[in-house]
Every structure is written in C-alpha cells, then in structure tokens.
Amino acid sequence: MELRAKVLTVSDGVVAGTRENRSGAALAETLAAAGFSVDDQRVVADGAETVAHALRQMTRGFAGLVATTGGTGFGPRDLTPEGTLDVLERQAPGLAEAMRLANPLGRLSRGVAGTVGKALVVNTPGSPAGAVECIEAVLDVVPHALALLAGETTAH
C-alpha cells in the first residue's frame, strides 16, 4: 500500500507573510523520510471555519494521512480542534493521547485525531519541534490504521 499524506498549516502569521511555514515544512520532511508521498501542502488562517473547509477539501476522495500543524493551544484564535471535530466522522483519541505524551508541553495541546472516509486526520502543534515529536509518536501505527481504513485484511 502506498503511504500518502497531506499537510495543512494553520497560521494567521504564515498567511499574512510575517512568519515562515517552518512547522509545515518540518512535517512534510518527516513524513517523506518515513516513506510517505506528500501530495499536498496548504496554509490557512486560524479559525474553526477555515480549518473545516480546508479539511473537507483535503479529505474528499483521499486515502491517507492529513496532518495539521498549528492552532491547538489556548490562544483566542487557536480553533484547529474545533474545525477538525466539525469534519471528523470518528474520533481516534488514542492517537491524540499518544501525541500529547511525546513531550511535557503536550499537556497544553488540545489537538484531536480521527477519520474522514479513508483519511486519517491528526492535529499537531505549531512549533516545528512539537509537530515532528507528535507525528513521530504515532507514525509506527499510521500504516496499519490506513490499511484498515482502506478495507485491507490485516493480521491481528
């Protein structure tokens, strides 16, 4: 099974051009090094509606991983989890919990994870190191999850 991924950066600063998209680049690089084909990278402003709209577009007909970065904290515009929850069909709390355990600061993340059709969506923090630590915390089980979503028979 080909491992495919997409990356969504959620950041007012990146959209405005006042901040470099370092976390999106770090996620894409980490996923590529893990054997994923990174098919799409997008940037949207913070907010539940912008995140939900982008995730609907990115998951439509897609079988693979969609990793978001940014908007998972306590700031007033940090609404990535809310936008993600608007789109998810089923939650995967174990993945979100595993990502939170990657670093003590993970306790401050409100990120969620779950499925939309054959896509797996995970929220990671907006810092490059935090995004990479969180995605690496679950990469070992993502291929199995994607195979299950694709309807492949797997050994248990």
Q: What are phi and psi of 83, to 5 degrees?
A: -65, -40
pLDDT digits (tens, 9 = 90+) for 39-62: 999 999 999 999 999 999 999 999
pLDDT band at 1 (very low <50, low <70, confident <90, very high): confident
- CATH numbers and ranges of domains, the chain: 4-149 (3.40.980.10)
pLDDT digits (tens, 9 = 90+) for 60-119: 999 999 999 999 999 999 999 999 999 999 999 999 999 999 998 898 999 999 999 999
Mean pLDDT of 125-137: 97
Output the average pLDDT for the chain. Answer: 96
